[in-house]
Structures are given as C-alpha cells and as structure tokens.
Amino acid sequence: MNLSARKGFRSLIRVLDAINPILVALSVVGLFLEYTAIAPYVGLANNVVSMFFIFDFLVRLAAFPAADYFFRSFGWVDFLAGLPGLFVFIEGSSLFSVFKVVRIGRFFRIIRVLRFLRAFDFIKKMRGDSAWIQERIMQIGVSVVLIFVSGLILMDLFIFSDPAFAVGEAAYRGIMISLLATLLAILVVLIFYMGSVFAKDMRILQLIIDSADAEDYLLLVAEAEPLKDEFGGLSLEDGELETVSLLKMAAKMASALGAEDSGPSDPSSFALFGSGEADEPFPASTRASDRNIEDLAHRIEHLEDLLRQSNEKIVMETLRRAAPAIRNYLKGK
C-alpha cells in the first residue's frame, strides 16, 4: 500500500528512501560476516545500522498514518527488522541478563534476516513495478522469510543446544552461512522471476484498463489478433490461462462496441449538408434568408446529436469536410 507522508516529513522520507537500499545491502553483508572469523570487527558497524533501522521505523511511524503504515504497509516488518537495534540499548542491563537465560541473544541475531524484505520493497520500486505486484511479492516474501526464520530459531534452540547434536563453532558458522545464502537465493528468485510472471499478467490488465479509459480499443484488439481461431473469432478454450480468456473477451466486447458506435465509415453519408457531398461548396450566388438560417440551425442541432451519438473521430472528420461549405455559405451571406 502506497502512503503519502505528512507535509513536514516529505523531505526526510525522500532522504531515507535514497539511503535505505545502501544500508540494507550493508546489513545483509554484515549479517553474513557475523558468522565468519572477523565477526568481532563488524559488530560496531552492525549495531549502527541496527539503530538506524529503529530510527527509520520511528520516523515513518510519525510521517504516515500509524495504523495504515504498521498494519497495511508492512511497517511491522520494519519493526521486526529493527529489533536488533533495541537489543543494543538494553545490552549490559539487568533485563539483558534475563534474555541471555533463554538464549534470546541468538534469536535477535537470526531475526535480522528479515532485513532482506527491505531490499525486496526497494528493488521492486526501482524497477517501477505496479503497486499490485509489489504487494503480492511482499506477501510471498514475508511468508517465506518468517517460515525460514522460524525453522532457524527452532533448530538453534532444540538442535544446536542439545549436547547429542553438538557441533563446533566453525561447523555452526558454516551451517548458518549456507542457510542464509539459501534464503537470499530464494528471495532473489522471488524478486526477479515471480515479479516477471506477475508483470506479464498485469500488462494485460493494464492494457484493458488504459483502453477503456481512453475509449480507444485498437491496441486491445490488435493484442488479441493472434488468438483468433480458424474461423476468425475469439472463443474460449478449455485449459487456457484466465488472463488469455480475459483478453479475448475484452477484445470481443471492444470490437462489438466499436461496430455499434462507429456507424457509417464515410462521413459524407451523414448527409449533413444537402446531398451528401460534404465538400461541395454552396453556389456563390447563395444569399442568407430566414429559411436558410432556419435550415442551418436545424443542421447544427443535427450535428450536436451526432456528437453525442457517433464516434468522436468520425464527427471531427465530418466537420473538417464540411468546413469549406460553411465558409462559402457565410461569405455569400
């Protein structure tokens, strides 16, 4: 869901949007580095990024309608991704010692995987995908990450903590890096492959919407042209994609609507000005009279009716053809 920031926060939100992709990428790299030998050297940088995500969440909570942002625009994902930042503030306190008893420290480290979802949202926006596609991809991504993280937490609490399944620190780090890399690969596939699949379907829907809005169905009919059967018609077939069926029916209705509204293709057949020869000028000797003026008023009323009932393009062509006759008549007057 796309929300509009309050007036006083718009500039700050634009700045946060600009630097967020970079910080998301750094946080992902930092997450992997925490399971390597250089983990002690990246701890401070990771803590700074974690605190930034908390700041980012609080700013957005104030900039947008709080309920809409948190529940309908995946603000709760931002909150979960920023939880490690809160962990930094309580470290060293008595509350932290309680968390250590239930091994919540490792939980906080694992839940940072949710930051991948921030990259999800920003990449989709940079690609210019529709809000519908962004929403569907985020829903799938949230489900995948939460299931994956839940599995990691259960494995950490009930397998790695069991002496019977004890592994060395090096082996544990290798397992975690492999699992995180797998999750990252899944998310990349979701972004690019599933996004392209959704975009293909959305293109047909957008074409139908744009054609109806512009009242011009030429592109829609042309798109459905290769789908015609051997008899030149558009008929539904068993097992075909729903989007293909939708395109066929929309093109069929557009063709029928065009045939009904277009009327005669030759503007001269409207016989607006006499015998149907629209570009035939009035004789130079013609002079205005009450009967002529009354007849002209009647023809103008007729033209107004056609403007309401006929295709706009045909009416404009009729006016173009009739213009010389009107000019000659007025000159004669």
Please give, one letter per residue, the 3-state secondary structure of the chain: CCCCCCHHHHHHHHHHHHHHHHHHHHHHHHHHHCCCCCHHHHHHHHHHHHHHHHHHHHHHHHHCCHHHHHHHCCHHHHHHHHHHHHHHHHCCCHHHHHHHHCCHHHHHHHHHHHHHHHHHHHHHHHCCCCHHHHHHHHHHHHHHHHHHHHHHHHHHHHCCCCHHHCCCHHHHHHHHHHHHHHHHHHHHHHHHHHHHHHHHHHHHHHHHHHHHHHCCCHHHHHHHHHHCCCCCCCCCCCCCCHHHHHHHHHHHHHHHHHHHHHCCCCHHHHCCCCCCCCCCCCCCCCCCCHHHHHHHHHHHHHHHHHHHHCCHHHHHHHHHHHHHHHHHHHHHC
- pLDDT at position 58: 92
- The answer on 186 and 104 residing in a single domain is yes
pLDDT greater than 50 at residue 14 = yes
- The answer on 173 and 296 residing in a single domain is no
pLDDT 10s digits, 193-213: 887 788 777 888 888 888 888
- The answer on 154 and 14 residing in a single domain is yes
Asked whether residue 37 is assigned to any structural domain, the reply reads: yes
Percent of the chain with pLDDT over 90: 2
Q: What average pLDDT does this structure show over 79-85?
A: 76
Asked whether residue 170 is assigned to any structural domain, the reply reads: yes
- The answer on 309 and 164 residing in a single domain is no
- The answer on 257 and 280 residing in a single domain is no
Asked whether residue 184 is assigned to any structural domain, the reply reads: yes
- The answer on 183 and 48 residing in a single domain is yes
- The answer on 278 and 255 residing in a single domain is no
Q: What is the pTM of this model?
A: 0.60
> Which residues form the domain of 41?
7-212
Range in 1-10, 89-98, 141-150, 191-200 with the lowest mean pLDDT: 89-98
Asked whether residue 1 is assigned to any structural domain, the reply reads: no
- The answer on 234 and 272 residing in a single domain is no
pLDDT greater than 80 at residue 281 = no
Asked whether residue 25 is assigned to any structural domain, the reply reads: yes
- The answer on 177 and 69 residing in a single domain is yes
Asked whether residue 149 is assigned to any structural domain, the reply reads: yes
- pLDDT at position 111: 64
pLDDT greater than 50 at residue 16 = yes
- pLDDT at position 98: 47
- pLDDT at position 321: 63
Q: Point out the domain boundary residue: 232, 262, 292.
A: 262
pLDDT greater than 80 at residue 330 = no
- The answer on 123 and 49 residing in a single domain is yes
Q: What is the mean pLDDT of the chain?
A: 73
Domains in the chain, number? 3
Asked whether residue 2 is assigned to any structural domain, the reply reads: no
pLDDT 10s digits, 45-74: 888 888 888 898 899 999 999 888 888 877
- The answer on 168 and 111 residing in a single domain is yes
